[in-house]
Amino acid sequence: MADTETQAVNTQPVSPTKGKVTQKASKDGSNSTLRFLPIAEIHDDTVVLKDGTVRGVMEVTSVNFSLKSEAEQNSIIYSYQQFLNALEFPIQIYIRSKKLDLDDYIAKLSEVADQQPNPLLKNQTLEYIQFVSKLIEYADIMEKKFYVIIPYDLTESSTKKGLFRLFLDTINPDDSIAKYKERVRRFSTMKKGLQQRMNIAQAKLESCGLQTRILSTKELISLYYSVYNPITSMSQKLKEANVNQTKKQ
């Protein structure tokens, strides 16, 4: 995930459409501030930024540290220390809290109720659906997820760019055909390097007793859509989750 993924962005919502994620054109025809987002494409379980660098995202489980014995706590601390010491590249840890979304779960229960031949069981299922819906509405239940973002750059040039180049990238954030061709040419090599880093991080985190899972293309698009559109994403679901690419129109 790019360094700017958690900053507030006042922009038109991303419109979920089949085959790609695009921005809605404003009424006056002006460019949306979405053009300032660093993401160029999302495909092959990888986030590709406009500067040509790539990102992989892992979802990581948590452990209830306070319920562990002292010996178990020391073991976890030591394993995590080993994980940090083994890193030869930067990582980003992203913790996200959001309201629990059980729409898919409720939809499945509704299908079960519709197909239930037993009137008593059908009525009980409908009552349970109503109970869960009211509980979520009034209890405001939150869920917390943890992500580790791994970057990769062939030249690790993010700190080697001159100030003038960084200034130009800031004032001219638009994508271009030249940038796109360069990303395509480098992607295969970048993907291999990123995968090696992801494997290292996974192995070390799992030694801490944590479970890890690399996000797929669909999951990456859904994650970024909800991060950049926190309000819209609650009412306008990204139904076309088979999107395989994000790009500027």
Bridge partners (DSSP) of residue 59 are 147, 213
41, 246 contact by CB (below 8 A): yes
Q: What letter does residue 246 receive in the DSSP assignment?
A: B
Residue 81 pLDDT: 92
Q: For residues 238 and 241, what is the distance between their CA atoms, to the nearest angstrom? A: 6
pLDDT tens-place values along the chain, 249 residues long: 544 343 333 334 444 333 344 444 444 433 566 677 888 889 999 999 888 889 999 999 998 899 999 999 999 999 999 999 989 999 999 999 888 888 888 999 999 999 999 999 999 999 999 999 888 888 878 889 999 999 998 775 444 555 545 444 554 556 567 666 767 777 888 899 999 999 999 999 998 889 999 999 999 999 998 888 888 877 777 765 445 444 444
Residue 136 pLDDT: 82
Q: Considering the entire predicted model, what is its pTM?
A: 0.69
Residue 211 pLDDT: 94
* Residue 156 falls in which region: left (phi positive, over 0), alpha (psi -120 to 50) or beta: left
Own/partner long-range contacts of 234-241 (Cβ < 8 Å, ≥24 apart): 234/99, 234/101, 236/13, 236/16, 237/16, 237/103, 238/16, 238/21, 239/16, 240/16, 240/17, 240/18, 240/19
Residue 242 pLDDT: 42
Of the candidates 59, 46, 29, the residue with the CA atom closest to the CA atom of residue 184: 46
* Cβ-Cβ contacts under 8 Å for 14 (sequence gap 6 or more): 21, 22, 23, 34, 225, 228, 229, 232
pLDDT digits (tens, 9 = 90+) for 212-229: 999 999 999 999 988 888
